[in-house]
Structure 1
Amino acid sequence: MMMQNHAVIILASGLSQRLGQTKQLLKKEGEPLICYMTQLALATQPQVIVMVTPQGNLSIDTAIKGMIDQQDNVHRITNPTPDIGMAHSLYLGVEALNHLDSNDSLSINRVLIMGIDQILLDKEHLQALLVASQRVVASRYSSLNNWSDEQTSDRTVAHNTVKKDIVGLPLVIDYELLNQWQALLTGDKGLRHLIRGLPADQISSVINPQLSYDIDTPYQLAHARAQRWLDIVESK
């Protein structure tokens, strides 16, 4: 059980251009990925969830309609310009959260921010982020480039597969601090460079190597399905 009042912002407005299909609608355990990740967020018992999706995607709208209708604390906003960067989606998410907070008199002190394509994310990791007490508690994992079997078959690619550690999403941040930083969220300039400026005693991280596996390319998708990390789509 969570010991603090928190909200969740789910960043799900990416256009999946490298993947070539709508990432939000990939299936995991029979559910669209966006719904699966929202269920993980709900398991942390947040006061409210703000889901940011791309404007004008009717397939995503249809996929999430039932969940929004059934869950009073799940709200969806749309990003009309998802191509300008994730930071703008977060800006819109914070704006929507502030609007809900002012209208519904919520008692939010922390915000969990997460995406939808770290396909091995689980509830236990989210809980570990939420129980820490620093102003920012981020996830730490290795940056893997071209991690699928097909891509790493090339020796040069394989040699460069493991990169530096990433400190990033999902993360938990003090609500007041997030509001202070909102105006600085533009384009691709997200939270990472702002977090680096905090004193060391205000930041902590939770290590989870499984978060290295996100889905950006068709090769990664094929590998994830072969590993049964995502559902296999049968040919019609």
Structure 2
Amino acid sequence: MRKRVFTEGAEHTESTEQQSQNHAVIILASGLSQRLGQPKQLLIKNGEPLITYMTRLAITTNPQVIVIVVPDNHRFTASTMIELANQYPTVQIVVNSQADTGMAHSLSLGVEAIVALESTSIDRVLIMGVDQVLLDEPHLTALLAGKQTVVASRYHSWRRLETHQNRDKTVSDIIGLPLVIDYKLLRQWQSGLTGDKGLRHLIRGLPADQIGEVDNDQLSYDIDTPEQLAYAKQQGWLDS
């Protein structure tokens, strides 16, 4: 059976200070938001751009470095990131000039930036997106508390939620971002990160006992379409 780590009712003995000694963060924020029609990085939550909100969330885990991968065609995104980098010394900005090739290239660039640090103490990497608007600090803490090679998030898809969840058995649960992965393994896999071939198909090849999961259906609500954006605003998850 696959080992799981649950957010609800779990007690975590590792302190944030202990966690800060061994992980880096990659925030994948170079999506072009073509279906949404506007940069999702700049949607507003609690009075600030979503990318800023997610960066502050990542900072609460006290990582050694936060690498944010952004597209090169959104000057407003870049300016927001420069402000963050000036404010937080751990933040590094990486520009993806090939954002249309898929998420895998962004991840590869993020790994390159961490490798360039030549840090011998980083042993895990927390990988996040920007559009899971209900992501919170307890969930990231639960991911980092896991001991498996990969500790990933598990949640339903929008489609299952829209069809009253478990009634539609054809829609499988999603096991994906955010996730924590062994740094050495991520470096080994870097050459295989091309186009839309991200980590998911590589993770599936691991033995079940090397994969931990943190269940959190709040992560189902990412923002890809105008309809999803309208729903998030209606629920008060994003500013109107």
State the TM-score, normalized to the length of structure 1.
Answer: 0.89
User: Is the aligned partner of 1:49 residue 2:69?
Assistant: no
1:99-152, Cα deviation, whole Å (9 max, x unpaired): 12x2xx3510100000000000000000000011001000000112396xxxx6
Give the equivalent residue in structure 1 for 2:28: 11
Question: 1:11–1:114: 8 Å Cα contact kept in structure 2?
Answer: yes
Query: Which one of 214, 223, 227 corresponds to residue 231 of structure 2?
Result: 223
For 2:120 and 2:36, how far apart are their aligned partners in 1?
38
User: Is the aligned partner of 1:98 residue 2:98?
Assistant: no
Q: What secondary structure is seen at the aligned counterpart in 2 of 1:164? A: coil
For 2:207 and 2:192, how far apart are their aligned partners in 1?
19
Partner letter of residue 92 of structure 1?
Answer: L
Query: Which one of 118, 126, 130 corresponds to residue 116 of structure 1?
Result: 130
Q: Percent identity?
A: 62
Alignment of 1:60-75 (within 5 A): 60-75=77-92
RMSD (Å) for aligned C-alpha atoms: 1.7
Figure out how many residues of one structure are paired with residues of the other and give that number.
220
Identify the range of structure 1 (29-38 vs 61-70) with the bigger mean alpha-carbon deviation: 61-70
Partner letter of residue 89 of structure 2?
Answer: D
For 1:123 and 1:52, how far apart are their aligned partners in 2?
21
Give the 3 Å change call, closer, same or farther, for CA 8–213 of structure 1 in structure 2. Answer: same
Partner letter of residue 206 of structure 1?
Answer: V
Q: Structure 1: state its 5+ residue gaps.
A: none
For 2:48 and 2:92, how far apart are their aligned partners in 1?
18
Partner letter of residue 112 of structure 1?
Answer: L
For 1:129 and 1:162, how far apart are their aligned partners in 2?
27
Alignment of 1:16-35 (within 5 A): 16-35=33-52
Shift of 1:162: 8.1
Shift of 1:67: 1.2
Give the equivalent residue in structure 1 for 2:57: 40
Q: What secondary structure is seen at the aligned counterpart in 2 of 1:116? A: coil
Q: What secondary structure is seen at the aligned counterpart in 2 of 1:50? A: strand
Question: 1:84–1:187: 8 Å Cα contact kept in structure 2?
Answer: yes
Shift of 1:16: 0.2
For 2:175 and 2:73, how far apart are their aligned partners in 1?
32
Query: Which one of 140, 147, 151 corresponds to residue 126 of structure 1?
Result: 140
Structure 1 outlier segments of 4+, above 4 Å: 159-162
Give the equivalent residue in structure 1 for 2:207: 199
For 1:125 and 1:146, how far apart are their aligned partners in 2?
21
Shift of 1:64: 2.1
Shift of 1:222: 0.7
State the TM-score, normalized to the length of structure 2.
Answer: 0.88
